[in-house]
Amino acid sequence: MAGLMTLGCGTHATLNITAPSSAIAGSPFTITVTAVVGQNRDTVINSAIVFTSSDSKAILPPRYSFTPNDAGSHTFTDGVTLMTPGSQSITATVSGAPGINGTANVKVSTATTQP
């Protein structure tokens, strides 16, 4: 799911989050956030993004500003840890532009112990 905002040229801007569909509570995992305008990567995004989650106990990446080397996409290696089992969401939003966002849904399960 992604938020849309229409730019002056009539093209929608959004953030796409790539995340695993499932995770184990308390185990970190990697996400990638890509800025998109229309159907193309926005390689000149210069705004910071902030993260939120439906999991109030989640450990999320700090506020992040894309760099020229990112070319519109940044991977947060082991950057997210969800703590609460169930269906959870992670949302990235462009700071100051709440209409430009993206959400990933992750099913969180409890850790099982092996004998």
Distance CA 44, CA 13 (A): 12
Residue 11: per-residue pLDDT:
57
Could you tell me the pLDDT band of residue 6, with boundaries at 50, 70 and 90? very low
The residue range of the domain holding 81 is 5-100
User: Are the beta carbons of 31 and 63 closer than 8 angstroms?
Assistant: no
d(CA 75, CA 98): 21
Rounded Cα–Cα distance for residues 9 and 12 (Å): 9
Q: What is the pLDDT of residues 19-30, one digit of tens each?
A: 999 999 999 999
Query: What is the spatial distance between Cα 38 and Cα 10, in angstroms, rounded to a whole number?
Result: 9
Residue 56 inside a domain? The answer is yes
Give me the CATH number covering residue 15: 2.60.40
> Does 110 fall in a domain?
no
Residue 63, in any domain of the structure: yes
pLDDT band for 43, please (50, 70, 90 cuts). Answer: confident
The answer to the question of residue 71 being in a domain is: yes
Contact 100, 13 (CB under 8 A): yes
Total domains, the chain = 1
| Structural domain contains residue 68 | yes
The answer to whether residue 23 sits within a structural domain is: yes
Q: Tell whether 69 is covered by a domain.
A: yes
Give tens-digit pLDDT for 52-97.
999 999 999 999 999 989 999 999 999 999 999 999 999 999 998 8
